[in-house]
Amino acid sequence: MLTRIADKALNKFWRDASAGKHPIIDLKGNLSYSFSNEDGLLYVRNDFTASPYDEFEFVFGSLFLPDPVQELLSEDSSNDKVLLLMVYGENTQNLLLSELDASTDYMLDLPRGEYSFFGLILDAGTEDLLDSTIYAIGLPCEDKLNDPDLESSYIENPADILEFVDPSPIEITGGGPYYLNLLMLDAEQIPDCPLLLSEFLEEDFVQSPL
């Protein structure tokens, strides 16, 4: 799917993401940047596909990084990893890709509709995003992320953690705001993990490298 984005735009996005500039891009190659708001949240702007008739809802997101994933980010230097958020609009068939901070919650405003959400931790040392290795994948999790049982379950039986996540599209209707929890999964510990994303995108590029 990312191959639909013009090379020049995708390369610009990847350079800025690798430099920690928090870029945002969509499938048409439109480029923008997130910023921190007064509440300390990273605001992922969605200015690309809105129309005067769209009704928006706020989505507040947080990340749960179990110890194995935190170790991935702390190995050598976290500067060699990039954390990305993928938001796919089922109605518009557009993709929003943005850089996140592991230690900062985020918010975005989305037109009402159905969306699929994924997180990715990638190798920032490659010149091309599509050549980047996937270290971890984040999937929506309905359970309380501060539950000690979730952490111990992940460490003792990492493959069983898939019981806690659901990659199904989430319907954003009226009555927001909405709250999204992404559970980051170590791709090496869960062999089927990349396949979840591959099946969603119906593409073969989601391998190692990406």
Alpha helices in the chain (DSSP H): 7-18, 67-74, 148-156, 193-201
pLDDT tens readout for residues 162-178: 777 887 889 998 887 89
Q: Whole-model pTM? A: 0.84
User: Contact 27/5 with Cβ under 8 angstroms?
Assistant: yes
d(CA 35, CA 191): 35
DSSP state of 17: H
Distance of CA 119 to the CA centre of its chain: 3
pLDDT tens readout for residues 66-87: 888 888 887 655 568 999 999 9
